[in-house]
Amino acid sequence: MVSVTNAQVDDLPGWFFPIDMELFRVHLARSAQQGPGDLAELGVYLGKSATLIGGDVGPGETFTVIDLFGDDAGDERNLEENIDQYPELTRAQFEANYRGLHGELPVVVQDYSEKIVDHAAHGTHRFVHIDASHLYEHVVKDIAATRTLLRPDGVVVFDDYRSAHTPGVSAAVWEARESGLRPIAVSEVKLYATWGDPAPYTEAVLSWVRDSEFAHEMHRIGADDVVRVFGGYGSAEPVWLPWVPPRMAPRFSAAVTAVRGFTRRRPSRAVAS
């Protein structure tokens, strides 16, 4: 596989901010130091984050991605979410985007995200990204499947762990702490965690962020020190983004830009002396 730049990832459609591109790279690099391991992504949309992960696949490692790609979602609520937020998603579009940067595809599975356990090795994965259904009952299954895939020191990344339109993700993620999930770091939209020892990853995040363009602060959650990473020159995501459904983000962004433009053009009123 070929490493890709942030600019190349940025050219693809979807939502993946520079702050998380860098956090992905930090966790991917640190997990590789523990020895070779497999990688997986549950829910790929059009391949934005998958192309970055694919650039880190080493010799003997397997990268598996899974998505319904528009197939029957199985239940009415899941179907409504897919139609509402991802109407343009197709397997052909994902594969074309991925091949444009890597040539060779990962293992692509068209199935329910929790079915990843039927297609990928158990206990061998060093990195898994969960970005599939936002419905609580499905996220719970995705978390269980991911724990089956991960080796003891592997990392899991959760998308939309705090977005207002995805409370089911938040509930499932924080409940997983009861089964031993330990948070490492958080950004505005993603949470990084492990069922193993978070200390090596926490140290890696701190080592990187201290010399980066981003700001950080520490939070104590139970027995864990969790790094919040935020800000950064040219990389701060819009403050409204975590509260806007993905399909509405481009329209909302255009509206904000239009309002700002109107405000700048509006002549100031003369003040009577």
- State how far the Cα of 197 lies from the Cα of 74, in Å rounded to an integer: 36
Q: SS3 of 104, please?
A: coil
pLDDT at 26: 98
Confidence (pLDDT) at 70: 85
Residue 124 exposed, middle or buried by CB count within 10 Å (0-12, 13-18, 19+): middle
pLDDT on residue 63 = 98
Give dist(CA 185, CA 216) in Å, integer: 10
Q: Looking at residue 103, what is its pLDDT? A: 87
What is the pLDDT tens value at each position of the chain, 273 positions in all?
678 999 999 999 888 999 999 999 999 999 999 999 999 999 999 999 999 999 999 999 999 999 999 865 556 554 454 444 545 668 999 999 999 999 899 999 999 999 999 999 999 999 999 999 999 999 999 999 999 999 999 999 999 999 899 999 999 999 999 999 999 999 999 999 999 999 999 999 999 999 999 999 999 999 999 999 998 744 444 555 555 555 555 555 555 445 444 433 434 333 333
What pLDDT does 255 receive?
55
* Strand segments (E) across 160-244: 182-186, 190-194, 215-221, 224-230
The pLDDT of residue 31: 98
Contact 194, 156 (CB under 8 A): yes
pLDDT of residue 185: 98
- pLDDT score at 206: 98
Token pair 């949470």 is found at: 191
pTM for the model: 0.81
**72 alpha-carbon distance from chain centroid:** 23
Q: Which domains does the chain have, with CATH numbers?
A: 6-265 (3.40.50.150)
